[in-house]
Each structure stands twice: as structure tokens, then as C-alpha cells.
Amino acid sequence: MTYDFSNKTVLITGAAGGIGKECARLFLDDGAQLILVDLEPNALREVADALGAPERITTVAGDLTDQNVLNEVRATVEIAGGLDALVPAAGIYRDRDVESMSIQEWRQTMSINLDSVFQLTQAVLPHLHDHAAIVNFASLAGSRGSRNHAHYAATKAALVAFGRSLALEIGHRGIRVNAVAPGIIRTQMTDTLVTTNGELLLQQTPLGRHGTAQEVATVVTFLCSEAASFVNGELIQVNGGLYMTG
């Protein structure tokens, strides 16, 4: 399935990650201009080079919790003439049980997974075109909880509530805010989880397999397209039915 994003500008954070990179590829294939953001400059450069079409890709490397980086992203958006889609895909997933979790570990996850999404959204909101789309990244963990990932699960649940609240505030501009909730998607972020609990998770997944980054990215592009023009405030589960079991 392809959509027409010609003359549309899309901002993707976490663009060097497995899902972010695949989102960038699909949007580019469908004609979009891309602003790609990631913490790792070398990885970001490699992604941009691999995608090709340098005339349609602008990159910003840095930590979005840094105000200077946030200012650079906002300036880049202004130069681009605004945004038609915002996809904040950056995040971290660290193992730690609540009893031994330090306040620094809690705050780091909150800062990267939640605070940075709020700050980025607030920064670019005046530059979102009417009828634009925002797709946040929730998680199965945000609905069910996750052993040894309470901080991660809390941020993902909060992003759904944040997005729905935002949808109520900016719906009059025709801007839609939705979220996707991936399950076990084979990326570098989930390598440890798959290694330790992969077989159990496969048994609990009705489709009997793990997902791919492309299967998440296709839902993201759908939600940003005209095909989803009346989908708003929704959470789409992309986890092979795992959310129903366990």
C-alpha cells in the first residue's frame, strides 16, 4: 500500500532506529520531504546515505532533551515551511525492577520517552499545517505493564493520554493525533527481550511470530495519510494479537 506524500514534509525522531528508519523509507518512497533526527550522528548519516534522495532529506543530530538541539529542529522546520506529519519515534527501553530503580534511571526514561515528545510537539505545534498528523509511539507495555520496565510502561501509557488530550485541543485545525502500540518487533532495542523471553512471547502471540519494523511503519504512514482522515485519538495495536493474551 502506498500513499501520496508529495509536497509534504515529515519529521521523524529516532530515525536511525529500526522502526524510525523504516518509517523514513516508506515516507520517502511515497514522495515526502524528510527531516530526520537522531542522537547518533554517524548512524543518522548512514541512514540518510542509504535512503538516497539527498535533496529531500535534512538531518539534525543531537539529544532532544537539549534545548539547543530543540531550537535547531524548530529552525529547520521553519526553513522547511512547516510540517505535515510528526512522528516522534525516539525512545529507550532499559531493564530495571522498581525496587532497585534509581531516581536517575526513572527520570532518564521519563525525559527521553515522554518529556522530549512534549517539548518537541510544543516547539513545532505553531508550524504544523492545518490537517497535519501526529503519530506517537505507545507500547503493549503501556496497556498491560511490563515486568522490570515500569518506567518505560509509564511513559508509554502517558503518551496515549497526552496524544488524546492534544487531539481535543487542536482538532479544530483538522490536525489528527494517534498512536501505535508495537509488540515484539525485531529491532536492536528488543534483542535482549527476544533472547530472554522470545519463546514465551511467541507462544502468547496468536500469529505465532514476532513483527517487523515495516509492519509498524505501514501503520504509521496510513495514520498520516488521507486514508485515515477521520481517525483521531486512536491507539492502534501492532503486535500480532499479543495484547489480548498473557
CA dist., res. 210 & res. 54, Å (int): 33
b/e sequence 101-136, b meaning 16+ C-beta within 10 Å: eeeeeeeebbbbbbbbbebbbebbbebbbeebbbbb
CA 99 to chain centre: 29
CA dist., res. 243 & res. 246, Å (int): 8
CA dist., res. 242 & res. 204, Å (int): 6
CA 203 to chain centre: 27
CA dist., res. 152 & res. 217, Å (int): 21
117: enclosing H helix or E strand: helix 116-124
The verdict on whether 93 is a catalytic residue reads no
In single-letter form, the type of residue at position 158 comes to: A
Q: Which of 3, 93, 152, 243 is catalytic?
A: 152
Catalytic machinery residues? 152
